[in-house]
Amino acid sequence: MTMLIDRIPDLTAEQIARVRQPLKNAYTLPPQAYLSEDVYAQEETEIMRKSWLPLARVDQIAEPGQYISLDLFGQPVMVVHGTDGEFRVMSRVCLHRAAPIAEGDGKRKLFTCPYHAWSYDTTGQLIRAPLMDGAEGFAEKDCKLPQIKTELWNGFIMANLDLDAPSFAPQVADYASYFEKYKLEEMVVVKTLEFDSPWNWKVLVENFMEAYHHIATHAQSLESLFHARDSKVPDNSGPWSILHMPSAHEEVAPGLPPIEGLEPWQERDLFATVMFPHFLLAFQGTGVAWYQVFPQAADRMLLKIHLLSPKSHLALDGFGEAAEGNAALVSVVHHEDIDANDKVWEGLKAPLTKQGRLSPLEKSIWQLNQWWLEKMNAPAE
Ligand code: FES
Ligand SMILES: [Fe+2]
């Protein structure tokens, strides 16, 4: 008998049970987990609004007064480097009659609302509200833009819409220990590629997190460098997953110089990692690619691929050219993935599509699925 589990809309108990199986018996999430607007609405409530999300790098707003505007699940926010040196994330909706006080990015000492010119400082404190004499009991000093919980982690400005959320760093301490030698905090964004992607966010994350598809999707690119069959995923001890892709070659590929202090195997190998739900970092011997995911709806997400290098490498001879070469390679590989994801998205919509069996090489997807079910409040067996 088919029974709907009402805590995850549109998914049946049988479908959930197949996802919960040990990896060697496990199935993918059912198509409705990707397609359903009700599932997406529940993801927003149960996952996105309670998770730590990476909003910016400190090097993207390195100077006091610099800011970046974003939209977080219906909440317009800005990430601000305060003139006092602090990094904050706050609402950018005016406290008067709700006009946005900032758009895009830039550098300001004051944020002045374009509607009636209320002015806020870089901490979100209202400094001046013109022509408000006679508004009884009103005082600028009592007005501050709502602040969002923020944490700095390895050069990333993280934010969580849940004010009661536990701190991020302890949850990913074991994860971070894998990558200490890459010195993430000393890196800077050197190039950003942007994509508007017509798929559910999990289609991208799953594609990012397995090397099984190298044998077909990347047969002409990645497979000869990182064989699908050699990839491995350690057990995890928290809300994260690590895919290790050992290099097929002994020598380091030409191009950007390796990060100083890495072990020789770290200079050669590739790691694709996720801190759930969708903080994606790929570690190479030469730098890091940060796939910044912005889910928009069940069937759409925006993606920014930021390429990071150690700050000390920027001044090296030939760095600019090598960085462009790396960006071109990332773009080629991502276009191969776009093609695969487009096809998967069409297939998921087909009436006869059902859950498929996972390969043991897709352990990262299995790890994410177990976490997803727990967060979406599916009852345990
Ligand atoms: S809405 Fe911002 S000053 Fe009126
Ligand atoms: Fe891929």
4 — pLDDT class (breaks 50, 70, 90): low
* Ordered structural domains, the chain, with CATH: 13-50+181-375 (3.90.380.10), 53-160 (2.102.10.10)
1 — pLDDT class (breaks 50, 70, 90): low
Residue 143 beta carbon below 6 angstroms from any ligand 1 atom: no
DSSP 19-44: HHS-GGG-BPPPTHHHH-HHHHHHHH
Contact 308, 189 (CB under 8 A): yes
Residue 94 beta carbon below 6 angstroms from any ligand 1 atom: yes
108 C-alpha vs ligand 1 centroid, how far in Å?
Answer: 18
Residue with tokens 């003139």, as numbered in its chain? 83
Q: How much is the pTM?
A: 0.96
Residue 100 beta carbon below 6 angstroms from any ligand 1 atom: no
> Nearest residue CA, atom 1 of ligand 1?
97
Q: Say if residue 306's pLDDT is above 80.
A: yes
Give the atom of ligand 1 at the shortest distance from the alpha carbon of 97.
Answer: 1
Give the atom of ligand 1 at the shortest distance from the alpha carbon of 99.
Answer: 1
3-state secondary structure of 306: strand
DSSP 150-166: EEEETTEEEEES-TTPP
Six-digit token pair at 45? 């409530």
Give the atom of ligand 1 at the shortest distance from the alpha carbon of 113.
Answer: 2
DSSP H helices in the chain: 13-20, 32-35, 37-46, 173-178, 201-208, 264-268, 319-348, 363-375
274-299 per-position pLDDT tens digit = 999 999 999 999 999 999 999 999 99
Q: Is the pLDDT higher at 251 or at 127?
A: 127
Residue with tokens 């007064």, as numbered in its chain? 65
- Give one word for 98, left, alpha or beta, with left for phi > 0 and alpha for psi -120 to 50: left
> Nearest residue CA, atom 3 of ligand 1?
116
Q: If you average pLDDT over residues 39-60, what whole number do you get?
A: 97
17 C-alpha vs ligand 2 centroid, how far in Å?
Answer: 28
